[in-house]
Structure 1
Amino acid sequence: MTNSSSQKKSHNAHSAEHSDASLRIDNLIKNNNFDDGFDHWEVDDKGDPDNCKTVNGSAELKNQGTIAQQVEVASAAPYTLRFKSAGIGANLAEIVENGVVTQTANPQGGDFKLSFVTRESTASLQARFTGLNATPFYLNEILLFRDVPDLEERVRNGEFDFGGEGWTTQGTVRFYDGLCVAQNNAHVTQTIRDLVPGATYEFHCTTQPFSPFYFGEVYIRFDGPEGPSEQPIFAIREDERIYRHPLMVTRDTLTLVLVGSDVAFDSISIKRVSVG
């Protein structure tokens, strides 16, 4: 690869707006919108400059043309790569740690998001993008940032960015594209701890049916003085995709249960809304 990054310009755009929130984040990618051409990027155009060029604030890659940027990161830490892309050809986005490709994706256009955890031996990584054939691959608004946990959030991996991590399954359950898909009355559970008894929490969830014969519900299970008991939160309705429900808790620990047949769950959240 040839390094087209010049030292003539100082680029201090280390922060960018998170597209899903009003909070500022620290973007590790410099010149993420290609305002300065390919400054800060390593370019491998396979001997033809037409394979890697910037057009109207986007990178255009084709015919195995590749751009990459090396950034410093923390080891064994969660990060998210996001960007916007266009092009229906064979496109490639990769994360390379210590010379080894650890994350691979084939974006097909639109908003792209990839969450991952760096290896324990990683001190820096490379974000690499390739247009694999003659159809141009366009990308811009590239973000790479360390995920900051929400201290008020009680659900772990509620966006399913890390597959089924933190969840226990019973039955046919698949995790992909940031979704938890339950089939044949499958159960997906997580133990929720560190709750404040007497406080009110808000439960949030989104759902997506996958067939005309879907079914789904969410409830909590907890141990009481007279034994285990269950409290329903909601049953999935045909005309509703987003659910918000108040949840007053009487114990510091409970089990959250998702049940479904041909239903996908996403954006699971339990946050305190009163001090109790």
Structure 2
Amino acid sequence: MPELPEVETTKNGLLPLINNQRVTRAIRHRANLRWEIPKALKTILAGQVVNGIDRRGKYLLIRFDVGTLIIHLGMSGSIKVVNSSEVLRKHDHFELIFDNNKSMRLNDPRRFGAVLFSKDGSHPLLNSLGVEPLEEEFDETYLYNKSRNKVQNIKTFIMNSKVVVGVGNIYACESLFASGIDPARQAGSVSKKRYALLTQHIKNILKKAIKAGGTTLQDFSQVDGTPGYFTQTLSVYGREGKNCSTCGGKISRLIQNQRSTFYCKQCQT
């Protein structure tokens, strides 16, 4: 699933290509993804100019004078900008065609993504989100206070988008390993000192992933079609049975909330 670094990478790739460009057509090649793509986008966005692109959590926000196009990449989505004459690929479900003959296309094989619209830029899906992990507000005090009396495991806790956004499965595993914290430990039992270490590692790992263009495991690719290269630096994720780079022991896997968690039993306590 594309996580914060992949969405940030997509945003950064789109900015020089579609910002300040005028939409000539908005086309939904498939009516429904996770929710129905608004049919009115064809009328709403025709003739509108992109005047900014932001990210909130895992949501991509494309700004227009008339409102904000909200895109979520779901589990398998990616966005590319190509010549508008290029033949559609399978699973290209939504596109914006611009007056420079370029086309922005959302490709989503599993169709868990979303294309929504808000006139004022707000949306219930955005309003419930927690802090951004790369902002100053996200520190050990914030995370420690949020975790008090929490009996859920620490990995589930830091993946809760109402607490902090964008720390998905890959980066949660990697951050907990770097911090030496057992992913099964109760969030409320983690000390403030260890939260200081964890918040710093979350920030550092997310920044490194963004710099590397995100992580490509199966479907994700950057706007220009190239893969994300952070996969090459993963310490535990997807490495079950392989040697730990720190202690030489074997990387283990367990299931938490229907997600695979990769960790080192010796290094993480």
- TM-score, length-scaled by structure 2: 0.27
Higher relative contact order (CA 8 A, sep 6+): 2
- TM-score, length-scaled by structure 1: 0.26
Q: Which protein shows a greater Rg? A: 1
Answer 1 or 2: which has greater strand percent.
1
